[in-house]
Structure 1
Amino acid sequence: MVKLHIKKGEESHFLYETNVGVSVEDLIIQLVRLYNGRLKVDRLCQEIELLSSHGILLPPNMQGLTDEQIIDLKLKDEYADTCIPCGGHTDNPDPVGRRNGRAPNEKMKEVLHRTISEARAAISKNQVAAKVCMTEEIISDSLDKLRGAIMIVYPMNLPPYDPIRLEFEGQEDLTGSQASLAVLEESTAQLWWAGKELTRSKKLQDFIGRNEKTTIIAKLQKKGQGAPAREPVFSEDAKKEMMSYAYRRQEELKKLEADEEDSYLNAQWADPHELKRSFQGLRDIKWGSGLK
C-alpha cells in the first residue's frame, strides 16, 4: 500500500493509505471527506468547550444583548429550563453574550473535557509523526464519542439552533463564517504532487509508478489557487544537521590552522643552537651507557 502524507500549503494534516491503482477522482473525494471530517471534529470540540464553560446557546434574537435589554424587549429563552445539564448547573456568564451562563457541574465538565481530549488526539497532526493513517472510522468514532458525551451531560438534548446539535445532525450552516474558508469541495478540490496536478481522469500509478511501498507528500487545495509551493529538497531536521556538521568542520579547520602556526617551533631548522652544534660536530651524537 502506498502512503500519502497530505498537506495543505505548508501545514501537515494526516497520512492516508491506498493503492496505486486507485483513480485520482476517487482518491480526491476520499481525502476531502477525511479533511473536512477532521475540521468538523475540531469545530465540535471548540463549541463543546464553550458549552462546558457557559452553558447552552441563547436564541438568536437574544445573543449579544444585556440582561436589561432582554427584560426591556420581554424576550425569554424557552429552552433554558428544559435543556439543563445533568446534576445541575453553576453560574458562569458568557462575556460575549452567546450562551446562557448555566454551565455543567465539575463532574459533567470532566466528562466533556476528557472526550474532547480523546477526539483531538485521534485527529491530531501528531499522528503523522506516529505514522498512524487517517480513516473514516477514526472520524466516525470521534464524532460518536462526542455525541455520547453530550447525551450524558444533556439528556434532554440541546436547543435545535445550537451549533453542536446542528453539526451532529449534519445541518450546520457555515456560510459567512471563518470556518467556511477552510472547507473543501469534493468536486473542485485539487491534489498536487511533485509540482504537478494529478488529473482526475487518470489513476495514481500514472503519476507515481507501480511501486506500492512508497510514501509521497501530496498537497490538497481549492481549485484556482495555482500550483502550491514545492517541498524543500532538505527537511528542517536535515538542514539543522548539515549546519551543525559545517560548524563542527569549521572549528576543526581553525584548530588545525592554529596548530600549524606553532608546529614549526619543534622543527630542527628552527632551533637557534642548531648551527653552532653543527660546526662543533655535536649533531646526531648518540649518548650511550658506555661513555665514561
Structure 2
Amino acid sequence: MSELQIYQASIERNMLEPAQADLVLTMMQQQYGAEFNHKHEKNTKAQLRATASRILAGLSEANIVLGLQRMRHEQRCPSLSAFRELCEYWKGPNEAWADAITYTKNKKHPITELTKQALDRVKDMLIDTDDNRDAVRMQQSAGFAFREIYEGLVEQAKLANDIERPYVPQKTEASGHIAIELQIIPEKSVYEKLTDEQRAIVDMQKRLVAQGMDHRTALNKARKELGNQKLNKLDNPELQAKVKKQPKQKFDTPFQKLVAQGMNVKDAFKQCKLEGANK
C-alpha cells in the first residue's frame, strides 16, 4: 500500500459522522446566512457534507464545540479548513517550553503529549542551574532546540489529522527524574567517599527504587530501617555484616560529617560544593 493509500485510509477511518457534519454546516449557515450560501452554492448538500466529514476528520466532539464557540467571534464565514483551525488548540512553542520547564520541577503540572515528546528529546541538555552560568546557557540552547522540535511535531500531528492530547504518565514513569533535577542517589565518585554505614543506606535505597519506589521515599525508608546517626547500635543483620568487616571509620571529610549528622546526601553534596566555591 502506497503512502497516499495509507493517508486516504486514515482519513476514511476518522471521517466525521454525517450528523456531526450536518450540525456544523447548519450552525455556520445560521450564523452567516447569505455569505455561507454564496460560498457553497456550487455544492449539493451531500457533497458539502462529504467535504466537511473529510476535512474535519479526527476531531472530537469537544474540539467541534470549541470551534463553534470560537466561530461566534469570526466576522466572516470561515472555510471548512479555517473552521478546523478554530476547532484545534495547539499550544505555541513558547507556552509549551514554559510548561516543560515547570513539569521538570513539578511532575503534577499538566503538559501535552507533544510537549513531553519534545522535552524527552532535549532533557539531556538540562542540568542543575543553581549558580552555574554554563548550565543557564545550556538551558537556553535546550529551549531553542525544544521549540524547533515541538513545532515539527505539531506540524506532523496536523498532517495526520491528529488533535492535542494531555500527557498521562505511565506508572513506571511516575517516579522518574528529568536531568534538570539532581539525582538523590549519589554518583559513583561521591559513593566511593561514603563510609560502610552510609553505603548500606544507599544500597538499600537503590534496591527499593528498583522495586518501583520513588527516590526520596526509598531514601527515607532506608534511613529509618538502617538508622541515621546511631547505625552501630542497630540489630539489622545486613548492616551489621557490613560494619563488622572493618573498624568504624572516622568522618574525615566535611561531606562525611554532614551526612553523619543526618543531612541527606544531596544537600550535603551541594553545601560542600557551595563552601568550596566561597573559599
- TM-score past 0.5 threshold: no
Whichever of the two has the greater Rg, that structure is: 1
TM-score (norm 1): 0.20
User: When you count helix as a share of all residues, which structure comes out higher?
Assistant: 2
User: When you count strand as a share of all residues, which structure comes out higher?
Assistant: 1
TM-score (norm 2): 0.20
Which gives a bigger RCO, structure 1 or 2 (Cα 8 Å, sep 6+)?
1
